[in-house]
A and B are shown apart, each in its own frame.
Chain A
């Protein structure tokens, strides 16, 4: 993604500070300072700043200088993302925080999103959107985090969620959980007969010759890089630990 200006994005994982593609480092610094001044200290005190250098090819010292600028405005940088080089020495990590890692674009969208994370062995909790109706053909709802639907998803309807999708009813349409790249997201439905199922950038569809009507609730999740559907009974969610 190549932009003109520095972009701030608040996500559940922290504040992303996305740098534009600018080969002139001085101009880049000025843009960053101007943007930070424009926030009037709004983000001061934030502890989870993430500096996304995108496709910029920066020296270690340059990154350190940029991190210094951001921190002088009261935002502490926990991570640096992006970059051309495969391995950076830990810069933010020097201050006892997480090191730098490289993030990879998804297969489905091909876009660079600000909430790319490495796989963690837990299901994210957080906000849930509650929808109390049946989704009919052509209707589509999207939720930034979890979506709980008290009703059916008919063929031709679609639910897209950043986190998990729970359908208290029949899932006959398309469910897309974990957008854009949360492979820990799950889809649960009382009657599981989706047209198509997507988790992060994986896509699955039922076999063409199978027309079974499920008797009991089922759950779909990613196992060894593939979407698998299992009986809900006997499945234990591994939820994220409570924040302390």
Chain B
């Protein structure tokens, strides 16, 4: 078996790479795929916290690369989804601790055992980025509907092309339909117009993402969250299914009242 190696990247920080990696990985695992999430953000690891697996870390990616443990020992099985595994980053090292070549070897070893190997890339375009994309076959670009994030995403698309990673897929994160409606935010068309790559999902801004991150429970496991639903649909599209995009219409006043009362979910 040779799985897909996919890097989740954005250029800009804080647009939701880690959240997207965790949720898309989790959604794919819920669908029965064997998924390895690799935290490539060495020195600033977060993926373990988002997944609520921080207290299970004994060995990390650096230990595995240095041969201080076997790769299997460093992989942490998720506590909820049996086919989801995390390879945590080291916290007390930095990006220079690994070489792109080592990353290539590691991802290809993982790809033998997993359907999907998803790499959570650090922000920036330096060493950490180069490490993270070294072994990737495909890329998922995360952006928010802001000019600065789209500009950085465009730069990333160019850098990926130069590295031979063609046709990355786009996720627009944290869209606020009310602001788009007022003309205060870039809309989906504007973003696609600039980046000219395939859109694989639009995730609405959702407070549930913040609470789920703090609790260490991916939002895709929350059936009521619209962001969770958007991530589940992204996973379906990655699997090649043709699913409609989540409606970005603002729910009506009465629906919101019902939701507030905990009924209309």
Least Cβ distance of B132 to chain A in Å? Answer: 19
Report how far A37 CA is from B43 CA in the complex, Å: 47
Given A137, A138, A140, A196, which contacts B57 in the complex, CB threshold below 8 Å? A196
In-complex Cβ contact of A205 among B45, B55, B91 (8 A): B55
**Which residue of A195, A203, A208 contacts B79 across the interface (Cβ within 8 Å)?**
A208
B177 contacts the other chain (CB 8 A): no
Cross-chain pairs A/B with CB under 8 angstroms, 18 sampled: A108-B58, A138-B43, A138-B91, A138-B92, A139-B92, A140-B92, A155-B54, A156-B45, A158-B92, A195-B54, A195-B55, A196-B57, A196-B58, A203-B58, A205-B55, A205-B56, A208-B55, A208-B79
Contact surface of B with A, Cβ cutoff 8 Å: 43, 45, 52, 54-58, 79, 91-92
A138-B43, A208-B79 as given contacts; A196 in contact with B91, CB under 8 Å:
no
A-side interface residues, number (CB < 8 Å): 14
Q: Across the two chains, which residue of chain B brings its CB closest to A158? A: B92
The 7 closest A-B pairs by CB, nearest first: A205-B55, A140-B92, A138-B91, A195-B55, A156-B91, A138-B92, A196-B55
Q: What is the minimal beta-carbon distance from B63 to any residue of chain A, in angstroms?
A: 11
Interface string of A6-47 (1 = CB under 8 A from B): 000000000000000000000000000000000000000000
Is A206 positioned at the interface, with any CB of B under 8 Å from its CB? yes
Alpha-carbon separation in the docked complex, A206 to B92 (Å): 22
With a cutoff of 8 Å between Cβ atoms, the chain B residues found around residue A108 in the complex are 58
Q: A203–B57 Cα gap in the complex (Å)?
A: 10
Q: Which residue of B lies closest to A206 (CB)?
A: B55
* Chain B residue nearest in CB terms to A198: B58
Smallest distance from the beta carbon of A85 to chain B beta carbons, Å?
Answer: 30
Contacts of B54 in A (CB 8 A): 155, 195
Q: How far is the CB of B59 from chain A (nearest CB, A)?
A: 10
B111 to chain A, nearest CB (A): 27
